[in-house]
Structure 1
Amino acid sequence: NLEQTGEIADGALLIFPSAEHLEETSIRYLRAGREKAGKTLDGFDVCPTVPLVVGDDKDVARLADAFRPHTALYVGGMGSRKQNFYNQLAQRMGYEREAAEIQDKYLSGDKEGAAAAVPQDLIDQTTLLGSVDRIADRMRAYAEAGVTTLTLSPGDLPLEERIASLRAGSEALERAGLA
């Protein structure tokens, strides 16, 4: 649990982070754990892994489609109906109804339906999609939300495309003024 992580660790590896919701979904629990241990978040590494796909800003919806099955697996199928951390995370981000629908479909075997039920906004909030400038803006938002280290995951692309994506991610980091 995140509070215990804050209490005993020197950092946290996060998945499906949303800059817009990081405080209420993660940071507040990490901070509570740090306070329990008599510490602050100073020097504590908040390190989410964020999928990265570089492309035209006009294609963000299409780029997001590649993440629907992955997101559906986590929100719908990782754990039981009562014990799914990622489903609960999506709910804390304001997607209560959608998370329930994704889980219902996934657990009933309708994985395609579950993927189709993943909201575009959820994917957009938890990935870095689009142009280098758009990605730089999102990186700034993550930094402002409390992220100290951002791990970029270029996904299941051919090697040359992954390398190009990581180079673009590096460029975005520089444009964001965070390098």
Structure 2
Amino acid sequence: MEGWHGVRFHRPVQATRETIEIIRTVSSGQRLEHAGEIYPLPLPDSAGRALQPMVRPAHVPVYIAAMGPRNLRLTGELADGWLGNAFIPEAAEVFFGPLREGAEKAGRTLGDIDLVAPVAVEITSGAAETAATVRKHAEGYAFTIGAMGDNGRNFYNEAFTRLGFGDAVAEVAELWQSGDKAAARRAVPDDLGRLTNLIGTPEVIAERVRRYREAGISTLLVKLDGDYDTQLATVRQLIDIVGGVD
């Protein structure tokens, strides 16, 4: 947040709540006055004035990529959708529990929220190719585990720990921060690459899609490698696979 966006990472849950409130005010066409703790608008002690947007009122869907329990509860309470990074169908309740709590607080259910699972998709021809591709995606988590976060807080690692990978994540983080990045990549469990993506033969991917559906995911956000023609071919094949899932 501070290195890339230039925004102080201070009280992130409250900042997210206020951002949603401001979006709702602007998109409804109302004059923008917001008595926020993080974003008081107009800015106090300034020459700024409360302005009314020149837009036709419309509902702007808000999706939150929440991982921590507090932000998940906020998502359940206020958001139109959830972007479930690192979602694993077999451990769905790790995320769905707090989401459900927030939704029920607002008189809603999980069915009122678009539950989105971002997944890399790579369709392989057999076990050897599948294993190599899973390994590639697992090793891709090493940077996330080892380099993200600050002051001992890494929200991804905390989420991975709640998903059951705490010991492995601690080892990867220690290796990365000691400078041995190659060993850190090797230490990432295969299951982090396999269970958070759609990798394998069409039959394997069909079974994984079924698990996402049974867990309650409503949308798969597909991430693809390769040039345009390769990506298009993968999407076409994936559509056929999904269409055949009961």
TM-score normalised to the size of structure 1? 0.91
Superposed CA deviations along residues 67-107 of structure 1, whole A, max 9, x for unmatched, are: 13421122222213632111112111111110101111222
2:77 aligned partner = 7
1:1-179 matches, within 5 Å, as: 1-24=71-94, 26-58=95-127, 59-80=129-150, 82-155=152-225, 157-177=226-246
Q: CA deviation at 1:41?
A: 1.3
* Greater helix share, structure number: 1
Determine helix, strand or coil for the equivalent of 2:117: strand
Percent identity of paired positions between Structure 1 and Structure 2 = 34
Residues 31, 7 of structure 1: CA spacing in aligned structure 2 closer, same or farther, 3 A cutoff? same
CA RMSD of aligned residues (A): 1.5
Bigger RCO of structures 1 and 2 (CA < 8 A, at least 6 apart) = 1
**Structure-1 separation of matches of 2:147 and 2:189:** 16
Superposed CA deviations along residues 124-169 of structure 1, whole A, max 9, x for unmatched, are: 11111111121111011001111011111113x2332222222222
Moved over 4 A (4+): none
Report the number of matched residues: 175
Point out where structure 1 has 5 or more consecutive residues left out of the alignment: none
**Structure-2 separation of matches of 1:54 and 1:81:** 39
Structure with larger Rg: 2
**Structure-1 separation of matches of 2:194 and 2:187:** 14
Q: Is 97-106 or 66-75 further displaced after alignment?
A: 66-75
